[in-house]
Amino acid sequence: MTASDPLARYRELPRSADGKVNLDDDAWRSFLSPSEYRILREGGTEPAGTGPLTDHDAPGAYHCAGCGEHLYSSDHKFHSGCGWPAFDDEVPNAVTRLVDHSFGMRRTEIRCATCDGHLGHVFEGERLTAKNVRHCVNSASIIFVPAG
Ligand SMILES: [Zn+2]
């Protein structure tokens, strides 16, 4: 492991016997950046088109910015034109879905299955890819780890 290993900090996180990460609010506030905290722990959304990973294309893996779990692969990523990183598949069992009625809409929120951090929303039936699914994910909720 090199000093620049982007996942090193997550190995320090305490985990429960089932592998979940459950920090209290103060611990999350000190562990995360303010923008990560606002999105992951408060369900915020970054403005469209502002996230650094929106049109990011390199081969590699996308991990949860809260706990470091592997959530998506670059093979899942596609250009949706929506202004946020988009994926049409996920690492099995890495993402949980919750019905979200905020803003008068019925949407499906997606969260990291390990730390319960807010990722974004998932949409189906848009016919953007063969899998017909779009995970619309905040850049602040994920970190990219290059392949190799
Ligand atoms: Zn997580």
Residue 106: CATH number of its domain: 2.170.150.20
In a domain? residue 96: yes
Catalytic positions? 136
Q: Residue 43 above 60 pLDDT?
A: yes
Mean pLDDT of the chain: 95
Return the minimum-mean-pLDDT range out of 2-11, 45-54, 90-99, 123-132: 2-11
The span from the CA of 137 to the CA of 95, in Å, is 11
Domain of 92, in residue numbers: 8-146
d(CA 75, CA 45): 24
2 domain residue, yes or no: no
Is 113 within 8 Å of 71 (Cβ atoms)? no
Separation of 89 CA from ligand 1 center, angstroms?
17
- Is the residue at 3 inside a domain? no
Q: How far is the CA of 17 from the centre of ligand 1 (A)?
A: 16
| 13-30: pLDDT as tens digits | 999 999 999 999 999 999
Residue 77 placed within a domain: yes
What distance in angstroms lies between residue 113's CA and the mean position of ligand 1's atoms?
A: 7
What is the domain count for the chain? 1
Q: 22 C-alpha to center of ligand 1: Å? A: 10
